[in-house]
Amino acid sequence: MRLFPRRLALPVDVRDQLTLAPGERLLAWAPAGTGWVVATTHAVWLPARSRHERLGWEAVDAAGWNTDEALLTLVQAAPLGSRPRRWAVRVEDAGDLLLVVKERVRATVVLSRRVDVDGGGVTVVARRPPGTDRITWTVSVDRGVDVADPATRDEIDRVVRRLKEQVGG
């Protein structure tokens, strides 16, 4: 038994597929079915057909891990009224990957507020993408909240404007 398990090497062809931003570094990776999940300082790269797809940490609304199925799930933040994209990737030998994913997602959050509207609620989140001073805003809507209703939409817009004034974004 090894005291410190050996870390799998990221294949060169996978690394060559990733278009990293200046200053972006690899942090953790794990084999995942037909590809690899790669976490960097700026994003998570997910296997998608014959290439890897980049998902910036600021675009990840939620991340989870199902131990029984060795399944990493990511929920991508979506525009108001749209269904979020869900990623479910079977990950082999996850190692530090899971800790890095959670830490990186959390590190982008500047503010998160849950607000009651229209018999349900919305969660407004301000995030700062790694390596920038810019702030992005997302609104997650509970089931049953009618964002097509002009009064509800106005209420959500007021909440977001108020929070932007507080944060300065």
> pLDDT for 16-29, tens place per residue?
999 999 999 999 99
Alpha helices in the chain (DSSP H): 12-17, 97-108, 150-167
Q: Name the average pLDDT for the chain.
A: 89
The average pLDDT across 108-120 equals 91
Contacts of 73 (CB under 8 A, 6+ apart): 62, 63, 64, 65, 66, 86, 87, 88, 89
Question: How high is the pLDDT of residue 2?
Answer: 46
Alpha helices in 18-168 (DSSP H): 97-108, 150-167
pLDDT tens by residue, 32-89? 988 999 999 999 999 987 789 999 999 999 999 898 999 999 999 887 777 889 999 9
137 three-class SS: strand
Question: How high is the pLDDT of residue 89?
Answer: 94
Prediction pTM value = 0.84
Question: How high is the pLDDT of residue 1?
Answer: 47
Count Cβ atoms below 10 Å from residue 159 Cβ, excluding itself: 17
121 three-class SS: strand
How distant is the alpha carbon of residue 61 from its chain centre? Answer: 5
User: How far lies 45's CA from each of 14, 15, 96, 153, 167, in Å?
Assistant: 10, 10, 15, 33, 29
Confidence of residue 135 (pLDDT cuts 50, 70, 90): very high
Comparison of pLDDT for 160 and 83, the residue scoring more: 160
Question: How high is the pLDDT of residue 4?
Answer: 47
Distance CA 27, CA 13 (A): 17
Could you tell me the domains of the chain? 12-107 (2.30.29.30), 109-167 (no CATH)
